[in-house]
Structure 1
Amino acid sequence: MTGVDVRAPAAAERPAWADLPGRQVRDFADRALREVPALAREILDTICREHPRMPLLVDESGELVALVGIRRALEGFVQHLVRGSGSPQLHLEVFQDFGRGEGQRGRTLDSLQAVYRLGVRLAWRRLAEIGHEARIPPPAMYDLAEAGFAFLDGLVDQTVRGYAEAAARQAGERLRLQRKLTRALLGEQGAERSGPLEGWAGHAARLGWALPQRVAVGVLSRPAREAVAPAVGPEVLLDMEREQPLLLVPDPAVPGRREQVQRALRGWTGAVGPAVAPADAAVSLRWASEAMGLIERGLLPSGGLLHCTEHIDALVLLPPGELLEALADRCLAPLADRGPTQRRRLAETLLAWLETRGGAPETASRLGVHPQTVRYRMRQIRELWGDVVEDPDRRFELELVLRSQRLQGRLSPPVG
């Protein structure tokens, strides 16, 4: 077991404590050791009063673990003063265990350090009184104070080590539970889902995540291979173990939820599917994956978090590309022998007319051209298509094809 290294600050002069007569040091130590049991009890009682939520555990012998730790720390420090060199050998597991326990109970490091500061303040006050009784000169007491704080730093280090171990284990366990729950909600192969979704309420509760009424599933693209997980908050489940990370957003319509997720994912590209019942989470994932595919093809905007419900036309029209291309070949066959520029202008005019269902002025406003230009083009369109443009079913097919081409960037967007 490594000890806590207590070293006085480097100085040109020999420490005053080292020059004390051995008899005086032993007198101080004897007085202090006699006080240790009562002082340890006083320190623990004061800590419990000022930090009433701190749990008190007992060891196998029935003693309070915290009391044993305080007593051992005081005894080890005093005995080290008598030896005058080397490092005090302590059973430091008690301080690591204390840190682990506090980490598991969700206490912060600030609260732990406050407990230690309180303890050392009480200990120093009594040791200063004992030093006065033993006639220890002030310079030596200054050395004693510095050694005491260095000793405390070592104990804090051990506690922080235990705290960090507990935090790491808790984080790992939470990630494991999140992945299991995510796979179950999505109905993925190998997921442990043998009954209705409500059966996972207890499993989700271990995460502090109650099953929501609605859930939206998102797919993310990492801004860099080494990107750390975004701080989406405990309400949002995040699975970073996938090539494209997933997030499950509970009750996305809750006020502030959308803004919370947007802020956390600043700098990321992603797509969030529609809100669905938890049992249909796989449906939301499917639409998010479709949207992500369109983002990667440059057909939907990247550089932010895209919501599928705001791009329904693209998601409906773009994915079945082969079918729409076949329909386009048939519907737009009258334009086949026209040049590229004329073909595009007539197609844009036809789409504007289909969308406005108006006359030349409304269509011209949408295109940003003169109404007379629209009338001229519409005469050409009627010559090319004939009565087809009056058939509701054919008009629907034409609008479907032309909207798809505009979403792909092959036709210009309307200007008015």
Structure 2
Amino acid sequence: MVRRTPRELPAPALRLPAEAVAAMREDLPVVAERVVQAIVEEVPSYVAAFDGSMGETIRNAVQLALGGFLTLASGRRGVDLRTPAPAMEGAYQLGRGEARSGRTTDALLAAYRIGARVSWREMSTRAVDAGLDGETLAAFAELVFAYIDELSAASVAGHEDELATTGRVRTRLLERVARALLDGSPEDAVVEAAERADWPPPTTLTAVLVPRSQVRPVLGMVPPATLEAGEAGGPEDVGVLLVPDAHGRSRGALLRTLRGRGAVVGPSRPWLEVRASYVRARRAHALGLRDDTEAHLPTLVLTADPDALADLRAQALAPMADLRPAAAEKLTETLRSWLLHQGRREDVAADLFVHPQTVRYRLGQLRELYGDRLEDPRTVLGLTLALGVVEPDQVPED
């Protein structure tokens, strides 16, 4: 194991007044709780982390770190301003625990940044109330952030050490669970893989495709039990994540987390049926669709059988086959808009940016071509399906 040796911190002449240190130490439980609350609110993967024994461990680590800092800042350690060993050990063990919980160093460092911000806000307020001058306050700030840097580095070292041993083994086991789910392996084989990886199955799983460059950042924001599929046989530039229990109201939170990251989010499915979510997300990705596949269901349905769609389109537009391409294109877009706007001429004109009289003229041409068939429900259904996708040729291959 690689243990980080505390280095000498800056501002060796800093010594806070005893009354200021005493006031800050009295506030430690409140400050620690505010730090915890800010982390829960700002780092999604920590929402459920503070329940049970792990939550108590993290709270204790926060108080231990703050207490160690006050011991350091009080000057009782003389000129040897080094991070107290108990605080360093607590940070190191916290990093190991976070690795065992499945959280990434991205989430861990984000928590440290938030902790530094909240701690500085609270302690600097006490320092100002105690009458610290500007020069001392600046030295105090330098010591705060150097101290947090030391602790975060110790936690990262603990995280890396844990992954270097049992963590990496478990990561490989979790990847096998993901691959078994996506490969369509027998149910008993998937359940056995989950048990071997010590991965408690959720109620549902949601397949998410994200660009490779976004996999690490996204893993820091989604629940720690999320599975990463590794090489899942999909596009090389895309990573596959299986997010647990992102159904119902939780789906909205997931979509907000992924906004702007080029992700494709499949539907939530019972965990053993997540392959269906993955297949839909892959089809949406191949069509160039992004974000929530539930918002693209008409397109996905209409492009499910590209050959049938092409035949239906040719059949539905057969009356325009002898027209010049430019004329056929104008009448086709008018017919599509007329169908989607249920015959409301003003709405069609606004949709196409033409005068209502132009719409009337084109509809007259269409009635000449189609005759009474435009009143036939089956013809209208066929035309609606055929024209429901703007660019039906952009269809993925299985």
TM-score, normalization by structure 1: 0.51
Paired residue secondary structure (1:248): strand
* 1:345 pairs with one of 314, 322, 330: 330
RCO greater where, 1 or 2, for CA within 8 Å and sep 6 or more? 2
Query: Letter of the aligned partner of 1:246 in structure 2?
Result: V
Paired residue secondary structure (1:231): coil
Instruction: Give the structure 2 partner of residue 383 of structure 1.
Output: 368
Rounded Cα–Cα distance in structure 1 between residues aligned with 2:184 and 2:392: 38
Contact 1:8-1:146 at 8 Å conserved across structures: no
Instruction: Give the structure 2 partner of residue 249 of structure 1.
Output: 243
Instruction: Give the structure 2 partner of residue 318 of structure 1.
Output: 303
Rounded Cα–Cα distance in structure 2 between residues aligned with 1:183 and 1:395: 49
Among all aligned residue pairs of Structure 1 and Structure 2, give the percentage whose two residues are the same amino acid: 29
Give how far 1:210 is off: 4.7
Instruction: Give the structure 1 partner of residue 339 of structure 2.
Output: 354
Give how far 1:217 is off: 1.3
Q: Could you list the per-position Cα deviations for residues 39-76 of structure 1 after superposition, in whole angstroms to 9, with x for gaps in the alignment?
A: xxxxxxxxxxxxxx99xxxxxxxxxxxxxxxxxxxxxx
Rounded Cα–Cα distance in structure 1 between residues aligned with 2:262 and 2:6: 52
Moved more, 244-253 or 352-361: 352-361
Query: Letter of the aligned partner of 1:252 in structure 2?
Result: A
Instruction: Give the structure 2 partner of residue 211 of structure 1.
Output: 201
Contact 2:227-2:242 at 8 Å conserved across structures: yes
Instruction: Give the structure 2 partner of residue 329 of structure 1.
Output: 314
The answer on 1:221 being equivalent to 2:176 is no
Contact 2:266-2:280 at 8 Å conserved across structures: yes
Q: Could you list the per-position Cα deviations for residues 178-208 of structure 1 after superposition, in whole angstroms to 9, with x for gaps in the alignment?
A: 664565466448898652877777667xxx9
* 2:291 pairs with one of 302, 306, 310: 306
The answer on 1:275 being equivalent to 2:265 is no
Structure 1 residues 177 and 287, CA gap change in structure 2 (3 angstroms): farther
Moved more, 280-289 or 322-331: 322-331
Instruction: Give the structure 2 partner of residue 234 of structure 1.
Output: 224
Contact 2:214-2:261 at 8 Å conserved across structures: no
Structure 1 residues 309 and 174, CA gap change in structure 2 (3 angstroms): farther
Contact 2:208-2:278 at 8 Å conserved across structures: yes
Paired residue secondary structure (1:195): helix
Structure 1 residues 178 and 394, CA gap change in structure 2 (3 angstroms): farther
Contact 1:216-1:275 at 8 Å conserved across structures: yes
Instruction: List gaps (5 residues or longer) in structure 2.
Output: 10-52, 94-153
Structure (1 or 2) with the larger CA radius of gyration: 1
Contact 2:316-2:383 at 8 Å conserved across structures: yes
Give 1:353-372 correspondences, 5 Å limit.
Answer: 353-358=338-343, 360-361=345-346, 363-364=348-349, 366-372=351-357
Query: Letter of the aligned partner of 2:316 in structure 1?
Result: C
Q: Could you list the per-position Cα deviations for residues 345-364 of structure 1 after superposition, in whole angstroms to 9, with x for gaps in the alignment?
A: 21122223323443645644
Paired residue secondary structure (1:216): strand
Contact 1:232-1:265 at 8 Å conserved across structures: no
Contact 1:349-1:367 at 8 Å conserved across structures: yes
Give how far 1:404 is off: 2.0
Structure 1 residues 240 and 407, CA gap change in structure 2 (3 angstroms): same
Paired residue secondary structure (2:323): coil
Paired residue secondary structure (2:238): coil
TM-score, normalization by structure 2: 0.53
Aligned CA-pair RMSD: 5.1
Contact 1:218-1:272 at 8 Å conserved across structures: yes
The answer on 1:284 being equivalent to 2:269 is no
Query: Letter of the aligned partner of 1:211 in structure 2?
Result: P
Query: Letter of the aligned partner of 1:248 in structure 2?
Result: L
Paired residue secondary structure (2:310): helix
Aligned length: 283
Structure 1 residues 163 and 308, CA gap change in structure 2 (3 angstroms): closer
Contact 1:179-1:239 at 8 Å conserved across structures: no
